[in-house]
Amino acid sequence: MEKLSKDWLTQGLIDAEYKKYVLLAYLKTVKQSFGRVELYPFLADLIFHYRNIIAIKENKALIRESFPKEISLEEFKKLELSYRQMIDDDMVMSELESIIEFSIPHMKDSLQEGTVIYEYVESNCEIAPIGVTPLYAKEGYLFVSQPPEKETNIYRYQMSIFEDSQEQLRSLNTEFVERVPKTTLNTYERIKLDLIKRYQDLPNPATFLILSKMKFPFTETLMPVAKRLFVKHISTAV
């Protein structure tokens, strides 16, 4: 099956056996995806549902700060209202608690499997500046490559920093520019110089290369890991 809906716990029939069947079918799909070393979109989706169900178990209400930013305020309010209404119904709550107790260890096992893959991919990635890095590094270019390193995917990035009530948060926006061949003559430095000539609004861009030692599914795995790794790296510079 595809991803679980955000309100899968309250959607449709509130029956423990049925919900367990739905969850196991979903986790089977997740396992198949992880078996192909494909993390996206299921790892982020699984994290969302795991945080959701833990929040319900511990607080009987949702904690908005614990959720990924992809969930909108309207979606959050809808979920919270549904769960609050269920808390007032003892029979429904009994079914819900059974579903929760079943779901947490199964989700946790799948999440651990995805985390191991994520950490393995990240450990195989190296990040390095291309040329001299300017003091202003919130905007520039990001090169991403993997074996056999015959081509390089180029992205323009912009880092945004904003604050919530507790901490500074960082958001990375990337825009695909092009995919270029990497040869002995067409080095990363030469590629950077060519970008400067063509895009003069960034005359002295910060430019970084993320190079994977192993080949992974690019869209589903390498790029999501590379972006998170880059956020951690660039955060120390800005």
What is the value of pTM for the model shown? 0.81
The residue-averaged pLDDT of 35-47 equals 94
Mind listing the pLDDT tens digit for each residue in 181-198? 988 889 999 999 999 999
Mean pLDDT of the chain: 85
Instruction: Give me the domains of the chain, ranges plus CATH numbers.
Output: 16-122 (no CATH), 124-235 (3.40.1530)
| Rounded percentage of the chain residues whose pLDDT exceeds 70 | 81
Higher pLDDT, 66 or 129: 129
Alpha helix stretches (DSSP H) within the chain: 16-35, 42-59, 73-87, 90-123, 188-198, 223-235
Residue with tokens 């795995």: 221
Verify cis geometry, omega within 30 degrees of 0, for the bond prior to 105. Answer: no
Other Cβ atoms closer than 10 A to 197? 8
- Residues 152-164 have pLDDT tens digits of 999 999 988 655 5
Q: What is the pLDDT of residue 95?
A: 83
Indicate the range of 7-11, 18-22, 42-46, 191-195 predicted with least confidence: 7-11
